[in-house]
Structure 1
Amino acid sequence: MMDWTDQHCRYFHRLMTRNAMLYTEMVTAPAVIHGPRERLLGYGGDEHPVALQLGGSDPQELAQAVRLARPYGYDEVNLNVGCPSDRVQSGCFGAVLMERPQLVADCVRAMQAETDVPVTVKCRIGVDDQDPATVLPAFLETVAGAGVSHFIIHARKAWLKGLSPKENREVPPLDYPLVVRMKEEFPELTVCINGGVASLDLARDLLGQGLDGVMIGRAAYHDPASVLIGADALWGDGPGPDAFEVAAVMRPYIADHLAAGRRLHQITRHMLGLFHGRPGARAWRRVLSEGASREGAGLDVFNAALAEVENQILQ
């Protein structure tokens, strides 16, 4: 998710699940080529398994971006053909590429030539006036023909004309049965589903319908403890640490970040939902939201926010 799942967010999320694949925020191929590469591509070795998500529509640019990213050792490279942001429409990438499956095939073919790890595609079921029941299988067939065997399908159309990016996440109706049908029609493909999945119970239900995986985005961000701490049970493992243990592990990470002259808010903005639904959650969010962005904010702000939750539980 652009501007959300940065390195600090992924470090925080990895503390709660050992097995789930983490994805970077979408990075455009030109940014990798011309921008601050270390800031865009760098990550901690304890984030694995982690996938690099790229945006672009020029096969040569995408190939160069994958080549430059190869030394960083990502476990997967994902081409985003599902983002409806106006920033990606103007650049002719993201969901608008659902209208150009052959170009997507050319892009992934060029990307595969530069890496030994899987190149995957995240897409929508269609855009605008397209008929998903016709367009989606044709899209999968064309792109699979270029060598892609793993697709993550957001089970909504993207309306590029008339809806904002936020509305595109909520207004178009979900069509989970269509995605399940794609797995049935293409059993040789790895088909994962995305869109509107707000709980592990729903994820289990979708996996039970034959899908190979479930991608959870905003729910994992806004309520990470509920979604991520129990996620490893899907692999048959025990649950991860509780929210207080996660906060304790984050404290030295935050201290190192502050010692390097960086700001508290850069980390804690990702942690606002850690105690979602628990006593003290509102006070936790308030203390961090009001205090962490102030000049010179330090661990005292973090500790004060945590004390609010602890005090509520003890009452």
Structure 2
Amino acid sequence: MTQENQTKTDVLRASRLSVAPMMDWTDRHCRYFHRLMSGATLLYTEMVTAPALVRGGALHLLEFNAEEHPVALQLGGSDPVELAQAARLGVDAGYDEINLNCGCPSDRVQSGTFGAILMKTPTLVADCARAMMDAVGCEITVKCRIGVDDQDPEAVLPAFLEAVREAGVRRVQIHARKAWLQGLSPKENRDIPPLDYDLVLRMRSRFPDLHLSVNGGIESLEQAEDFLNAGLDGVMIGRAAYHRPWDILGEADSRIHGAAPSGQSAEDIARAMLPYIEAHLTSGGKLHQVTRHMLGLFAGRPGARVWRRVLSEGASRAGAGPALVEEALAQVDQGQAA
């Protein structure tokens, strides 16, 4: 098996569970933190726009740690030529998969004619995917909604999937909500439009040759297991994985990916982050850039509040470093012993 095919196989296996791309959240520090908890789950970058890479030369947006593999780059854009160039840059940087964003509802994304608004132009999405596949050898995938605004998802989603399948796309992640491009904020678009998991499940039988993952409102590994048992190929979890990372990722490898239990604890993960934090500070970084992603590590457990408070209040202070994390961890231990 060639290295390229081996990578595709590894990514396909990992995609049984993935952490959704989330703007301002799933940066390289967050992904490294998540990788310590789960070695097998597929991780995604925040959306990076093709114009920023191709026209703006913002190649620093592609930086990641080798420990993050398997890791996918999500691109935003609507110009096939530009997306092909951005995909090449992503592959050159070492990403294992390139994902096209057809789901983000923000005003900024709409003004650039990409994101969820692309649900209205499946032919253009197909052209973009085809151009990206012609440019690179890694997997090109698409993340979409079930429709936008007044579209009928029962008609729109199958037509969209047919278009991208015809272009050669074989893996699609479906956020099981509409996006309302007028009248709802991006935050409201994550909560208010009703979820339609049944529609996504029906697409599984209608498109047996596609690898379909469901996204949106998934709160637990139990829910993820239910979707996999119902026949879906993958589950993508967003906010729950960010706000309660240990609950989602701590047992993901054994429960979802079939690996032996790691024997790690949340405390072990906190300590494992210390060398990474030290290296980040040595390179000129700030503590809060890393620890802001760690606030939910002990969510729902004794000591969680003091952990959040110590890190939130202290991480931005001058000279803050690994000792602050150790202080917070010591207080967690005291809280659990009380």
Q: TM class by shorter-chain length?
A: over 0.9
2:294 counterpart of 1:271: yes
> For residues 175 and 160 of structure 1, what CA distance do their matches in structure 2 show?
18
Residue 236 (structure 1) shift: 1.2
The alignment partner of 2:98 has SS state of: strand
Is 2:300 the partner of 1:300? no
RMSD (Å), alpha carbons: 1.0
Amino acid at match of 1:278: R
Aligned pairs (5 A) from 1:214-233: 214-233=235-254
Q: Which residue of 1 aligns with 2:145?
A: 124
Answer yes or no: is the 8 Å Cα contact 1:231–1:239 preserved in 2. no
- The count of residues paired between Structure 1 and Structure 2 equals 315
The answer to whether the aligner puts 1:7 opposite 2:28 as a matched pair is: yes
Q: Which one of the candidate residues 23, 46, 71 is aligned to 2:44?
A: 23
Q: Which amino acid aligns with 1:143?
A: V
Counterpart residue type for residue 296 of structure 1: G
Q: How far did 1:24 drift?
A: 0.5
Deviation of 1:45 after TM superposition, in Å, equals 1.1
* Structure 1 position 206 matched with structure 2 position 227: yes
* Aligned counterparts, 1:44-83, within 5 A: 44-83=65-104
Structure 1 residue 252, shift from structure 2 partner: 0.9
TM superposition shift of 1:209: 0.8
CA contact (8 A) 2:146 2:175 kept: yes
Task: Output the CA distance in 2 between the equivalents of 1:220 and 1:126.
Answer: 25
SS at match of 2:39: coil
User: In the alignment, residue 180 of structure 2 is paired with which amino acid?
Assistant: W
TM-score (norm 2): 0.91
1:97 aligns with 2:118: yes
Kindly provide the amino acid, as one letter, of the partner of residue 258 in structure 2.
Answer: G
CA distance in 2, matches of 1:8, 1:235: 23
Find the partner of 2:273 among 229, 235, 250.
250
What is the CA deviation profile of residues 190-216 of structure 1, one whole-angstrom value per residue up to 9, with x for unaligned ones?
A: 011000001000000011110000000
| Per-residue Cα deviation, 1:133-164 (whole angstroms, up to 9, x for no partner) | 01100110011111101100000000111001
Residues 291-310 of structure 1, C-alpha deviations (whole Å, 9 max, x = no match): 10122212222121111101
1:69 & 1:200 partners in 2: Cα distance? 30
Kindly, what percent of the aligned residue pairs are identical? 64
Q: How does 1:68-217 map to 2 (within 5 A)?
A: 68-217=89-238
- Measured after TM superposition, the shift of residue 18 of structure 1 is 1.1
Normalising by structure 1, report the TM-score.
0.98
Q: 1:150 to 1:71 in 2, by over 3 A?
A: same
The 8 Å contact of residues 21 and 51 in structure 1, kept in 2 or not, is answered as: yes
2:302 partner letter: P
Give SS of 2:178's match: strand
Distance (Å, rounded) in 1 between the aligned partners of 2:154 and 2:223: 23
Unaligned runs of at least 5 residues, structure 2 = 1-21
Q: Report the more deviating stretch, 153-162 or 82-91.
A: 82-91
Shift in Å, 1:36 = 5.5
Deviations 1:94-122 (A, max 9, x none): 00000000010011111111111110000
Q: Deviations over 1:207-238 (max 9, x none)?
A: 11100000001110000000001111212113
1:312 and 1:289 map into 2 onto residues whose CA distance is 18
Supply the AA of the counterpart residue of 1:199: S
Instruction: Tell me the secondary structure at the aligned position of residue 37 of structure 2.
Output: coil
Separation of aligned partners in 2, 1:150 and 1:73: 20
Query: Structure 2 counterpart of 1:92, which letter?
Result: T
Aligned to 2:257: 235
SS in 1 for 2:147: strand
Contact 1:229-1:239 within 8 A present in 2 as well: no
Instruction: Give SS of 1:173's match.
Output: coil
Q: Which runs of 5+ in 1 are unaligned?
A: none
